[in-house]
Amino acid sequence: MAEDVKKCMVSLAEYISKIADEIDPESVNRFLKILTAALANKRKILVVGAGRSGLVARAFAMRLMHLGFNVYVVGETITPSIGEGDVLIAVSGSGSTQVVISVASAAKSIKATVVAITSFEDSPLAKISDHVVKIPGRTKVATETDYFARQVLGLYEPIAPLGTLFEDAALLFFDGVIVALMNILGLEEKDLKEKHANVEFV
C-alpha cells in the first residue's frame, strides 16, 4: 500500500541518480549547442513522441517555449511544416516506435537536424538521426518470464513497469537541459513567467 508507493519512489530516485552519471556529457553539450543555434538562427524546433514519451516531449516543448524558442509539437493543428535547418527532437525509449521513425525520416529527407532521445544507440531511430542522446532505461517487459531464470541470467528488473524508467529519466533530463539553457541564456524564473499561460481553464 503506502509502503509500496514509498518504495517505488525511492527506487526510481536511486535509479535516476545512478544513470545521471552514465549520460555522455559530450552528447549533452552538443544537444545544448544544437538548441542554442536554433534559437540564434530563428529556426523551428519540433518535438515528437508516442504515448508517455510523447507527454514528456510535450512538457519539454512547453519549457522551451517559456525560454523563447520557436517550438511546436508534431501532430498539433497549429504545427507548421519543418524545413531545412530546423530541428526535430524525437523521443523514443526503444528507438523502434514506427510513428516516431516515420516523422524522423520525413524530417531527415528535408534536411532538418534530427536528435534522438533514446535508450538504444543502435536502434532504427538512432541510425537515421544526426545526434543521439542515450538515456538508459528499461523500455520493454522482459521476455524471460521465469523468476529464477531471470536471477540466473542477471535480469534484475526494477520496480517500475514497462517504459517508466526511461520516461521518468527523460523528463528529469529535459528539466536539467532547461536549467542549463537558462544559465547559458542568462535567464531567470521571472523571465519564464512572462511567457507562462495567463488564459487557462479554471
> Ranked by mean pLDDT, which of 6-20, 123-137, 162-176 comes out on top?
123-137
For the stretch 17-68, pLDDT in tens is 888 999 999 999 999 999 999 999 999 999 999 999 999 999 999 999 999 9
- 111, pLDDT greater than 80: yes
CATH (one of 3.30.420.40, 3.40.630.10, 3.40.50.10490, 3.20.20.70) for 2-193: 3.40.50.10490
Domain range list for the chain: 2-193
- 9, pLDDT greater than 60: yes
Distances (CA, A) of 159 to 13, 170, 172: 12, 17, 18
Q: pTM to 2 decimals?
A: 0.84
Phi-psi region of 89 (alpha: psi -120 to 50; beta: other; left: phi over 0): beta
- Is 14 part of the annotated catalytic residue set? no
pLDDT number for residue 66: 93
Mean pLDDT (the chain) is 86
For the stretch 56-73, pLDDT in tens is 999 999 999 999 999 999
- 155, pLDDT greater than 50: no
Q: Which of 3, 14, 84, 167 is catalytic?
A: 167
Confidence band for 149, pLDDT divided at 50, 70 and 90: very low
pLDDT number for residue 189: 78
